[in-house]
Amino acid sequence: MRIVLLDSGLELVPPEMNYKGNSLLDINYHYRSMKRLRDWYKRGRPDIVHFSLLQLLSWPTFSGEIYVHTFDGKVIYVDRKTRIPKSQARFNSLIVQLLKYGKVPTKGEPLMVVTSYRLNDVINQPFLLFDERGDLTFNSELCGNVSVGIGAFQRGEFSDEVLSIPHKKISVSKSKIETFQVVCNILQKCFPLE
């Protein structure tokens, strides 16, 4: 299984906001100045990626691959051996390093890498796109050799880049639920604890 977090609200503060230095866009801190940005409500939510990665990377029986696709179209590979900080502040610093230098750690074997892939390159068929409006309900028979896409943004629709890839819409709940709850559901069903 390849799990891809989609349209993730993960980026450095963009130049038009006139911030000094490198800092991660975070709606908790930049709410006012963000509202001038295009599609601001999909951006600046590193906490969504943080929680989801914490769950995936610490789940003892998980054996899939992990990619993070960002709002601005980057594709980040995350090695399953990565141990990320529990602290949001430290996670954000790590991501600033990653986006600035293209990999972390910057010396030695990298564990997270900004690849030169486009989303299209890392999605294999069948591609299950998690969406609360999906007709098909997720169940353990759908686990296996699939690409699984989960939105990692606050609200709004998937980007054209995502929707242009052939997909089956799958839901885990009729309610709108958090990204980390979709991850929890998939982990429970496809990678039962031992």
Q: Does 140 bind its own copies (CB under 8 A)?
A: no
Q: Does 136 bind its own copies (CB under 8 A)?
A: no
Q: Does 17 bind its own copies (CB under 8 A)?
A: no
Query: Cα dist. 91→24, 50, 84, 104, 121 in Å?
Result: 10, 7, 7, 12, 27
CB of 131 to its own copies, least distance (A): 14
End-to-end CA distance of the chain: 19
Taking alpha carbons only, the member of 164, 161, 129 closest to residue 147 is 129
The window from 70-78, 85-93, 105-113, 158-166 that contacts its own copies (CB under 8 A) reads 85-93
Closer of 162 and 172 to its own copies (Cβ) = 172
CB of 191 to its own copies, least distance (A): 11
Near its own copies in 55-74, by CB under 8 A: 55, 58-60
Chain contacts with its own copies (rule: CB under 8 A): 28, 47, 51, 54-55, 58-60, 86-90, 172-175, 177-178, 180-181, 184-185, 187-188, 193-194
